[in-house]
Structure 1
Amino acid sequence: MLIVKKFGGTSVADKERILHVAGICAEEYSKGDDVVVVLSAMGKQTDVLLTQAEEINPNAPKREIDMLLTTGEQISVALMAMALESRGVPAISFHAFQAGIYTTRAYGNARIQRIDTARMEEALAQRKVVIVAGFQGISEEGDYTTLGRGGSDTTAVALAAVLKADVCEIFTDVDGVYTADPRLVPEAVKLKEITYDEMLELASLGAGVLHNRSVELAKRFGVELIVKSSFQNAEGTRVCDRTRKKETTHILEDGILKAAQSLEGTTMEEMLVSGVTADKNAARIQLKGIKETTKEMYKIFVKLSEQHIGADSVLMSPNSDNTTDISFTVPRDRLKETAEVLNLYSKEGSSDVEIKIEDKIAKVSAVGAGMMSNPAIAVSMFEALYEADITIEMIYASELRITVLVNEEDTLKAIRAIHGHLIERPLR
């Protein structure tokens, strides 16, 4: 059996935690399993390196930033190999070049193109624990690259796919995927299973347990994921193609979403809503008075795409004067680049379009399969926000989620209100 285990920065933040993780890996190895370990940089090391770069040169070339940042993971993997060897477990550490992880040349946000597994497979055949630096790759020109946010998750899933691992375990500081962040919502419930699609929505909408790129890869290559804690010996959450939920009919009764009874009369307490999450890294863009809608949308979104800026929650609203208003959200940490794109768009002949940017908003979303076919979910969600006296700035709905834009100050109140109506009540 081949198992890929990924540990984040918190899990390897200091000597004690590195030794603890080494113990977890050694225990797996003792069962006779082949083990591949993917590590992030220790603790906040990446942030420390970024600060140092900023102090030296606020406009440092992206190539040099990646050259610097990749040193963090190299420290982690070398120390982990030493820790395992001290336990009598043969281990070998690899950085991106040694692991053969080839990427595009997009420094800071590279995409994995291929992985040459020869050296890793050779080490596994020698019964060594293979420890790989996450978050990094190399371009075809031989330069170091980094994979962007959540890059170590992506590395782990990619390795699990090419090595045909039986499972990919993602170790974090929480013991699984919850219906909300348990630090914000004490009543949050840990999920035993969740589908790739639902997890992808949660990850894309602010849930920090897994990065969306890693979930996309897992779904594409059929990699089974298990999210579990580095610090607790507890069963985690399985992310897979289909969960083993039973079919359940839900009804709206007295404003409360309830599970209808089965034919045998036993209440089936399956939840339609898998989770509630919030994304404060969001800004709203409004373009008012667009005349040639299709042409102008193409011009805007092709420019955003060229800058690798993803737009979400895109809405169109026609006006009586045959113009159209368009609204969408972008990551707030890409607002500077977005503003530059919009300024260029305006200068190229679209100066009559009114552009409005709001950055004090948050996206709060309820995620679950069958949202559009179960209107009771939207009713209950809006009731929750109404009772909490929260103004909805925008609404976006799909088969897998309902997203509302709210004032940033109302984020926590909105999460708790929606979770209370959609998840806590059906369980009572």
Structure 2
Amino acid sequence: MLIVKKFGGTSVADKERILHVAGICAEEYNKGNDVVIVLSAMGKQTDVLLTQAEEINPDAPKREIDMLLTTGEQISVALMAMALESMGVPAISFHAFQAGIYTTRAYGNARIQRIDTARMEEALVQRKVIIVAGFQGINEEGDYTTLGRGGSDTTAVALAAVLRADICEIYTDVDGVYTADPRLVPSAVKLKEITYDEMLELASLGAGVLHNRSVEMAKRFGVELVVKSSFQDAEGTRVCDRAVKKENMFTLEDGILRAAQSLEGTAMEEMLVSGVTADKNTARIQLKGIKETTREIYRIFKKLSEQHISADSVLMSPNSDSTTDISFTVPRDQLKETAEVLTRYGEDSSSYLEIKIEDNIAKVSAVGAGMMSNPAIAVSMFEALYEEGISIEMIYASELRITVLVSEKDTLKAVRAIHGRLIERQLQ
């Protein structure tokens, strides 16, 4: 059995934790399994390196930033190999070049194009534990690149896919996927199982357990994921492809969302709402008075795409003068770049009259399959916010989620209100 295990920075933050993780992997190896480990940089090392770069040159070339950042993972994988060898487990560490991870040229946000597995397969034949530096690759010019936020998750899933691993285990500081962040909502419940699609929505909307790119890849290549904790021996949450008929499972009775059938004996994963999540890394853009709507929207979003800016929750409002207003959200950490692109394009094309930016907002979402076919969910969600006196700035709905924009100061209150109404009352 081949198992890929990914450990984040918290799990390898110091010597004691590295030895602890090495013990987990040694135990797996001694069961007769083949083990591939993917590691992030130790603790906050990536942040430390970024701070040092900023102090030296605030406008440092992205190539050099990536060259610097990749050193963090190279340290952690070498130390892990040493730790395993000290336990009598043969191990070898690989950085991106040695692991054959080839990417696009987009420094800071590269995408994996192919993986040459020859050296890794040779090491597996020799019954060595392989430790691979996550978050990084090399482009066709031989330069180091980084994969962006959540890059080590993506590395782990990509390796699991090309090596045909039986399972990919993602170790974090929580013991699975919960119905909400348990640090914000103490009553949150751990899910035993969740679909790729639901997990992808949660990851895209602020849940920090898995990154959305890794979930996309897992779904595409059929990689079974398990989210576990490196600090406790718990079962974790399985992320997989399954079909559960959820339509009409819930009704609205006296303002309370209730199961249409008893939940006794029903798995948590069969609840309609799988989770509630919040994303403060959000800004809203409004473009007013767009002329020749279809052409200009195409051009606007093409410009954003060229800069790898992800737009979400896009809404259009036609005006009486044949122009259109559109609004959408972008990650707040891409707001400066977004504003520059839109301002420059607007000045060059005169395609819209005004740009309005709001960055004191948060995106709060309820996620689950069959949301559009269960209108009681939206009614109950909006009622919960109304009772808490929370203003809704925008609403976006799809088959897998209902998202509202609220003032950033209301984020915690909104998450707790929605979780209490949509999830906790289902379990009563």
8 A contact 1:260–1:267 mirrored in 2: no
- 1:348 is paired with a residue whose SS is helix
Cα shift at 1:298: 1.3
5+ residue gaps in structure 2? none
CA distance in 2, matches of 1:381, 1:142: 51
Distance of aligned partners of 1:323 and 1:248 in 2 relative to their CA distance in 1, 3 Å threshold: closer
- Comparing 352-361 with 248-257, greater Cα deviation is found at 248-257
TM-score by length of 2: 0.97
CA distance in 2, matches of 1:181, 1:196: 19
Aligned residues: 426
Cα shift at 1:266: 6.1
Residue 2 of structure 1: aligned partner: 2
Distance of aligned partners of 1:296 and 1:351 in 2 relative to their CA distance in 1, 3 Å threshold: closer
Residue 115 of structure 2: aligned partner: 115
CA distance in 2, matches of 1:340, 1:259: 49
Answer yes or no: is 1:180 the counterpart of 2:180: yes
CA distance in 2, matches of 1:235, 1:259: 27
CA distance in 1, matches of 2:404, 2:83: 47
Matches within 5 A, 1:118-267: 118-242=118-242, 249-261=249-261
CA distance in 2, matches of 1:58, 1:186: 40
Residue 30 of structure 2: aligned partner: 30
Cα shift at 1:288: 1.2
| Alignment deviations for residues 365-408 of structure 1 (CA, whole Å, 9 cap, x no partner) | 00000000000000000011000100000000000000000000
- 1:329 is paired with a residue whose SS is strand
CA distance in 2, matches of 1:191, 1:247: 20
CA distance in 2, matches of 1:169, 1:292: 49
CA distance in 2, matches of 1:91, 1:422: 48
CA distance in 2, matches of 1:78, 1:352: 54
Answer yes or no: is 1:72 the counterpart of 2:61: no
Cα shift at 1:37: 0.2
Distance of aligned partners of 1:352 and 1:2 in 2 relative to their CA distance in 1, 3 Å threshold: closer
Residue 394 of structure 1: aligned partner: 394
CA distance in 2, matches of 1:397, 1:246: 17
Cα shift at 1:281: 0.5
Cα shift at 1:352: 5.0
Matches within 5 A, 1:94-113: 94-113=94-113
- 2:59 is paired with a residue whose SS is coil
8 A contact 2:207–2:277 mirrored in 1: yes
CA distance in 1, matches of 2:246, 2:57: 57
| Alignment deviations for residues 274-331 of structure 1 (CA, whole Å, 9 cap, x no partner) | 0000110110000111121101111211110111101000000112222211000011
Residue 314 of structure 1: aligned partner: 314
Answer yes or no: is 1:336 the counterpart of 2:336: yes
- Comparing 397-406 with 322-331, greater Cα deviation is found at 322-331
| Alignment deviations for residues 119-155 of structure 1 (CA, whole Å, 9 cap, x no partner) | 0011011110000000000011111100000000000
CA distance in 2, matches of 1:300, 1:342: 7
Cα shift at 1:261: 2.5
Residue 346 of structure 2: aligned partner: 346
TM-score by length of 1: 0.97
CA distance in 1, matches of 2:165, 2:212: 20
Cα shift at 1:348: 1.2
5+ residue gaps in structure 1? none
CA distance in 2, matches of 1:112, 1:342: 28
CA distance in 1, matches of 2:202, 2:70: 28
CA distance in 1, matches of 2:387, 2:257: 16
- 2:164 is paired with a residue whose SS is coil
Cα shift at 1:97: 0.4
Matches within 5 A, 1:261-340: 261=261, 268=266, 270-340=270-340
8 A contact 2:103–2:113 mirrored in 1: yes
8 A contact 2:219–2:241 mirrored in 1: yes
> For residue 334 of structure 1, what is the amino acid of its counterpart?
Q
- 2:322 is paired with a residue whose SS is coil
> For residue 344 of structure 2, what is the amino acid of its counterpart?
L
Residue 14 of structure 1: aligned partner: 14
Runs of 4+ in 1 over 2 A off after TM superposition: 243-249, 265-270
8 A contact 2:250–2:259 mirrored in 1: yes
- Comparing 75-84 with 250-259, greater Cα deviation is found at 250-259
CA distance in 1, matches of 2:265, 2:44: 47
- Comparing 153-162 with 234-243, greater Cα deviation is found at 234-243
Distance of aligned partners of 1:247 and 1:398 in 2 relative to their CA distance in 1, 3 Å threshold: closer
- 2:349 is paired with a residue whose SS is coil
- Comparing 248-257 with 396-405, greater Cα deviation is found at 248-257
- Comparing 344-353 with 383-392, greater Cα deviation is found at 344-353
> For residue 318 of structure 1, what is the amino acid of its counterpart?
P
8 A contact 2:291–2:351 mirrored in 1: no
Matches within 5 A, 1:364-375: 364-375=364-375
Q: C-alpha root-mean-square deviation of aligned residues, in Å?
A: 1.4
- Comparing 412-421 with 348-357, greater Cα deviation is found at 348-357
8 A contact 2:296–2:351 mirrored in 1: no
